[in-house]
Structure 1
Amino acid sequence: MFTGIVEELGEVVAVTATAGDSALVAVRGPLVTADARHGDSISVNGVCLTVVDVDAGVFTADVMGETLRRSALGTLRPGAPLNLERAATLGSRLGGHLVQGHVDGVGEVLSREPAEQWETVRFRLPAHLSRYVVEKGSITVDGVSLTVAAVGPDWFSVGLIPTTLKLTTLGAREVGDPVNLEVDVVAKYVERLLGDRLATGEPGALPGVSITGPGGVGSPGEAG
């Protein structure tokens, strides 16, 4: 589990193809490797990876084909910057929100609008994730916990402060770049729990709430 507060900007050292469609990724990150051991979890651009080995500030991790296909890690090349965060502990401050490091989909930078002290960035949002994203809710973009400023059927926007622009990869992302997205896990669990109740007619289901699609929950007053 992570918080979405990036600890360090790391760098891809090497990407080596392994058996099948998997890869071994080497990442330089002196801070996150300072106390890292074999088996520890580190968030790499929002993807939870397991440390295989650590040597002189560089850790290696196996990335299976499923992860390469369903996240933007498949586009990594040596020299690319990475957002890194060690797994949270029971005594950690929850500065962002609960982040699992399980990517739900890949978005894309649609536009950037600089202002005097901050910048508004709009991202493409895969349609199947739109129901989990709400204005002023939380979303993780490349491992960074952000607050949604506005949302549409296939996009959302956020405001990036100078610290985020300077200390994460989001400051250098260009229009068309892919990004890893993870929606708020609480929203997915609420949907599942309400969906099961409504589908089976269990007592306690909210009146006037209906299923609008596979696993989806409608708003009060919609026809079921």
Structure 2
Amino acid sequence: MFTGIIEQTGTIVSLINLDGVQRITVAAPGIAGQLREGDSLAVSGVCLTALEINPEFFYADLAAETLEKTSLSSLAPGSLVNLELPTAAGSPLGGHIVQGHVDGTGSLVSLEPVVPRSSPQFNLEATDWWLTVRVPENVRAFMVEKGSVTIEGISLTIARSTIPAGGETISLAILPLTYWRTNLHSLAVGATINVEADVLLKFAEMRAKTAEKPEFDITEPWLVANGY
């Protein structure tokens, strides 16, 4: 389990096809040295297994399902990816509960500074940002204003949503720390974005759909047969 608090970014060094499986090499000084082969970690929100560890790099295999369902299919050498180690039991939940199981991909509609670039007060290093993402249809029911969502592995709060009015986008406020510490600053308009809905909302929907039902229907013949 993760919480969506990105620890650092890594850089894709290479992508190699090994008998139908895509193997990525990620430069991640700092995190790589903490890993053991077989450990899980989140790479831009996707739970992967670390292979062939050394202090500077780790490797991971991307199955066909991962390539089909996540933004990792668009990686290239030089791409930045967000990295997070699993949350240790008993640790504070700094973001929200994140599984690393991406529900689908959206696209980056815009990422603009809150203070216009033309303003004398604009400061690239210190400004907040306004991120708008087009989300896939299968997660739109879980995009609740003031609720949580995972974007590229980052725990964020939905500030605005056009979905209740029939739209398909959500907007999120991005702090300078988040902008610069994650891969958001490297993404262009149209970039593919990993989206994971809040698992608690998904469980709530499942419970609502599978709420206990009567073992039988109370009908007139049943009432007569039972002496009512």
What is the TM-score with the length of structure 2 in the denominator?
A: 0.84
Q: Pick from 140, 151, 156: which aligns with 1:141?
A: 151
Confirm or deny: 8 A CA contact 1:9 1:167 kept in the other structure: yes
Distance 1:93 1:82 in 2: 24
Q: Which amino acid aligns with 2:169?
A: W
Unpaired stretches in structure 1, ≥5 consecutive residues: 203-224
Distance 2:100 2:145 in 1: 22
Confirm or deny: 8 A CA contact 1:165 1:172 kept in the other structure: no
Aligned match of 1:197: 211
Q: Pick from 183, 201, 213: which aligns with 1:169?
A: 183
Q: Which amino acid aligns with 1:192?
A: M
Confirm or deny: 8 A CA contact 1:13 1:26 kept in the other structure: yes
- Size of the aligned set, in residue pairs, is 201
RMSD of equivalent CA atoms: 1.6
Q: Which runs of 4+ in 1 moved over 2 A?
A: none
Distance 1:133 1:201 in 2: 32
Distance 1:172 1:119 in 2: 14
- Offset from partner CA, 1:151-210 (integer Å, 9 cap, x none): 122110100010011111112322111110101001111111110127x458xxxxxxxx
Aligned match of 2:13: 13
Distance 2:58 2:158 in 1: 32
The 5 Å alignment of 1:71-220 reads: 71-116=70-115, 117-153=127-163, 154-197=168-211, 200=213
Confirm or deny: 8 A CA contact 1:164 1:171 kept in the other structure: no
Distance 2:113 2:27 in 1: 30
Q: Which amino acid aligns with 1:59?
A: F
- Offset from partner CA, 1:62-116 (integer Å, 9 cap, x none): 1100000100101111111110011110132211111000000101011223123
Determine helix, strand or coil for the equivalent of 2:84.
strand
Distance 2:172 2:185 in 1: 13
Question: Percent of aligned positions with the same letter in both sequences?
Answer: 39
Confirm or deny: 8 A CA contact 2:30 2:55 kept in the other structure: no
Q: Which amino acid aligns with 1:172?
A: S
Q: Which amino acid aligns with 2:30?
A: L
